[in-house]
Amino acid sequence: MDEALWALGRATGAIGLLLMTGSVVLGILTRSGRPAIGLPRFGVATLHRNVGILATAFIAIHVVSLLFDPYAQLKLVDLVVPFLGEYRPFWLGLGTVAIDLMLAVTITALLRRRIGARAFRAVHLSTYALWPIALAHGLGTGTDALTPWMIALTVVCVGAVVAALVWRLSARFRRPAGAIAMSTPPSAAPASSAPAALAPGALGSASPASAPRIPAAPIGGPR
């Protein structure tokens, strides 16, 4: 039974890290404001939110399973206050910090309409610290940190986040001026883009060649 709880804790922790990585990558893509992976922006945002919910669920199972595992020697206070555990207190404390940050992000997401978008974004940015802390926690506390599958998982997670950040910060991320102009709605166009005939003073500054010619009527009137 103890080995089963330990295996469940390690498996859910690894899956939670993988899902958390996916959520971070999708969050970076969402912040870019561009369509990605064949989905529109709102589709990427929805996928980002759902993957984040799955990551939270797996991390919750990870914590509960290790809480009942006598080998981990966890107490309830260890889930809230970091660096108090008996088993590898520093690395275990990093996991507690990650849990606290995840709780803060989850609670502010549920209260987003009440606390406002600015406060939500400020707390939500902590996920950029949450992800490396959780990664370090898994490598420091896990007995299988040096196994091939865990090394491969770590390389995939780090590579995905780094690639997303490089793409986000690269010069190719900037949209060409023509694309920005095409995407600007007519109502948002500056006043200087109005036709010259409607601009103030256009009639007075028009050249004779450009002004329309109206034929003069005969002096004597129609005969």
**pLDDT (tens digit per residue) in 130-176:** 999 999 999 998 778 889 999 999 999 999 999 998 888 875 555 54
Domain boundaries, the chain: 2-174
Report pLDDT digits (tens) over 101-133.
999 988 998 898 899 888 888 888 888 899 999
In the predicted model, is pLDDT for residue 203 greater than 60?
A: no
43 pLDDT band, cuts 50/70/90, is confident
Q: What is the DSSP letter of 183?
A: H
In the predicted model, is pLDDT for residue 184 greater than 50?
A: no
Q: What is the DSSP letter of 7?
A: H
- Taking a C-beta distance cutoff of 8 angstroms, is the pair 28, 165 a contact? yes
* Predicted pLDDT of residue 204: 42
* Predicted pLDDT of residue 173: 54
Report pLDDT digits (tens) over 78-105.
888 999 888 889 999 999 999 999 999 8
The pTM for the full model equals 0.71
The first and second tokens of residue 31, run together, are: 């912040």
Report the pLDDT averaged over residues 65-74.
85
| Cα(103)–Cα(81) distance, integer angstroms | 13
Tell me the β-bridge partners of 36. 39
